[in-house]
Amino acid sequence: MRTLRPTALLLASTSIVSCGGAEPAVTSAPPARSTVVTATAAPTGEPKPPKPPKPVADPCARPTAPIEELTTAEGATVFTTDGAYLVWSDGHAVVRAAMNGGDRRTLVADVTKQSVVRGLALSQGEVWFRAEERYDQGCAGLLGFVGQNGGPMTSVTPEGCISGFALTPNRVVFTREESVPTQSGISSGLYAAPRKGGPGKTLLRPFGGSHGVATDGAFVYFQGGYDMLHRMPVDGGSDAQAVSDGKIGDAFGGYDGRRFTLAGNDIFALHGHPNLGGMKIARLTKDGKDPQLLGPAVPAHPSGATLPAGPLVTDAQFVYWASPLRGAVLRVPRDGSCAPYEIATDREKPDWVAVAGSYVYWMDLDAKPPRIARRKLYEDPEPPVVPAATTALPTAAPTPPPAPPAPTFAAPERPFVLAGEFAEPTTVSFAAGKVFVLLRDDGPKPRNDEDAPSPYWIHVLELRGTKFQPIKKHWIEGHLVAERVVEKNGKLYLVVRNPDARGEAHYYEPLGAGKQLAGYDGEWEDPTGPNMPPSCEAAPPPATKLAPMRDLYGWPRLDDARFFIGTSCDGKPKIQVLFQDKSQMIAAEPSDELMHTQLGILWKSTAGVFLFEKGAFRRIAASLPKNTWDVLRAPDGTIVARGQENFALRGEEWAPWQLAGGSARFTVVSDGAALWAHVGESSIYITELHRYAPGGANDVARIDTSTARLPKGR
């Protein structure tokens, strides 16, 4: 069994360090930090966390209780609750509130000038926080706590890059990054210290990797090396042992070192690769036995942006997490009796899931302002939350108006039919009226996850008739991702992206004759100078067609128009459109939203859904179906909304579009000549390909998907 050996050092130094490799100090009596204190003694009738509920009879049944919008949390980026209080931070201040959002108290005005609060925990009447900020040459942060009713702030560690922490009744265990991240990984240290002060202890230093840490009081669990999980006694005294090498059968990827948790005798963790194939929820025993994949957790994304910032959490029956870009909160029974399923949908980038008593809580980060919501999961009676008459902190925007009524749907019509099934998950791409598949070839040598990412071949095949024909073989560096095929200037290119950088592409590789094109060619660049609204304080005003705006939330572009979403100088929400010869300011509501879709720019408002065409917005529908990801126009002119389910626009209402088998959960794409649907674990792992057949199931010849394979002798 692989072991990691601890360094026999005691934490004694009191110097403040950053990520340069010096050993941190844990002090027994740190100096009090300046803070805003609103109370120093518990008020009468102090609320207590709720008691654990009774199990539900059917763990695979979705909850039916309505979602409760508890309160807004201005500027919040981190959140937690124990069912007695709500606690959040905007990165600097730590705020505590009653469960209805009232009685708000700023416990700490500014945790630290050098870093940002990125983790919170409530325990034994204390609010714990972890601050971290990364720079080009290092990282700063600290770990500390304050009483839930205020008081002096106690810093358990001096400044240093604290990447994770866990609490027991008597001690805090934490990891600290100790070198600048490199291609070969991150050096870390694992430490423990008494919660109430006293000498700390080095458990392990140095070791590779590690972000998160968890403890059951006897052992501390952490990531050691890429994709692996380790554990060692929480009081030290012996070597760390590998719990798992990260492999579960033939499943791709390994364990996520930030997102794992303990429950009973098991470890639950996200497993896979956030860029390639997405992440699944995995379960294994604490000693590493019987690893299993329980089902998909979050889909893949080129930047890994589908991952929640918050942790996985558990109660007696379930494991919970958020999928921010899906707008969903999910859970899975701990016993694996059914696959993961959604318990809240159509949210605005939900994250920081917490469970307490009979409820699951989360924060909608993209709401303006961010808001905290909950849903009841169990039938145990609990006192309802009474809305606060007033709040101590004003909201940044008025409460959004109620959502329009859900549209009524006609009977299913115009089905898709199966065009082919792939032998293994495949990337499918559409461009210039053609269908392509991308196949990754890692070569005969297995990848070594301990080293830098290995380069690989990508094979591009084009559908011609009913068979796929190879048209391109391209060598790609391991840190890059071959994403899709696009048309530029009448030619076809393979888009190769760097997931860690901005822009549509790192470069464009031609599929035919021609030279490779550099990426970042301005398509996604921020507008500057006269093409950017000046600030309201600009004096003298710059020469521009645009009116000043106070805040900007985004600036998508379509053809010859660019849209600026934000607030005007009077603080009111506005959409400003810049044309070549003029600009136009449009009044908006806080709940309005612009969507950049295949169809064009859509404006969602309480008055309906409007499409930008010929220099103006035109109403096309009363509303959009829930969970709509994209909107496109089918070859016959029909407007289709794609999402978890897909709908066709009939007048101003929506009718379902279904597969022949009856499932509506697929992704719809138009190639300009036909309408296609593909089914799979994510947008790049496709298992089935369907085509829209307006005249019936016999209109589409079955595709020979056995031709979508890597060539022999490669």
Q: Read out DSSP for 58-99? A: -TTSPP-SPEEEEEE-TT--EEEE-SS-EEEESSS-EEEE-T
Give the three-state DSSP class for 387: coil
Question: What's the pLDDT band for 552 if we cut at 50, 70, 90?
Answer: confident
Per-residue pLDDT for 24 more than 50?
Answer: no
> Would you place residue 1 in the very low, low, confident or very high pLDDT band (cuts 50, 70, 90)?
very low
pLDDT surpasses 60 at 242: yes
Query: Does the pLDDT at position 646 exceed 90?
Result: no
Q: Which residue has the higher pLDDT, 517 or 539?
A: 517
Q: Minimal CA–CA distance to 94: which of 121, 61, 63?
A: 121
How far is 700 from 324, CA to CA, in rounded Å? 37
Q: Which of 6-15, 41-50, 241-250, 266-275 has the lowest mean pLDDT?
A: 6-15
Say if residue 361's pLDDT is above 80: yes
pLDDT bucket at 359, cuts 50 / 70 / 90:
very high
Q: Are 520 and 508 in contact (CB under 8 A)?
A: no
pLDDT of residue 351: 94
**Lowest mean pLDDT: which of 478-492, 596-610, 691-705?**
691-705
Token representation of residue 364? 């909608």
Residue whose C-alpha is closest to residue 218's, from 176, 175, 174, 173: 173
Nearest to 594 by CA among 605, 586, 578, 583: 605
Q: What is the pLDDT of residues 173-227, one digit of tens each?
A: 988 876 544 344 567 788 888 887 667 788 887 676 657 899 998 999 988 766 7
HSE-CB of 351 using CA atoms within 13 angstroms? 21
Beta bridge pairs of residue 616: 613
> What is residue 406's predicted lDDT score, i.e. its pLDDT?
41
- Judged against a pLDDT cut of 80, whether residue 652 lies above it is answered with yes
The answer to whether residue 246 scores a pLDDT higher than 70 is yes
Residue 392 reports pLDDT greater than 80: no
Where residue 395 falls among pLDDT bands split at 50, 70, 90? Answer: very low
- In this structure, of 72-86, 95-109, 398-412, 425-439, the range with the lowest mean pLDDT score is 398-412
Backbone φ and ψ of 27, nearest 5°? -95, 150
Rounded CA separation 583/590 (Å) = 21
Section 397-410 average pLDDT: 42
Query: Does 135 have pLDDT greater than 80?
Result: no
Mean pLDDT rounded to a whole number for the chain: 76
Contact 678, 689 (CB under 8 A): yes
Range among 104-108, 505-509, 515-519 with highest mean pLDDT value: 104-108
Q: What's the residue count for the chain?
A: 714
pLDDT in tens, 269-328: 998 887 777 789 999 999 888 899 998 888 776 555 667 888 899 999 999 999 888 889
Distances (CA, A) of 656 to 51, 135, 412, 598, 632: 43, 49, 5, 19, 15
Q: Is the pLDDT of residue 503 over 60?
A: no
What does the pLDDT read at residue 31? 34
Domain ranges across the chain: 1-40+85-245, 48-82+294-380
Q: Which fold has domain 1-40+85-245?
A: Neuraminidase (2.120.10)
Query: Per-residue confidence at 373, pLDDT binned at 50, 70, 90?
Result: very high
Q: What pLDDT score was predicted for residue 506? A: 81
Report whether pLDDT(38) > 80: no
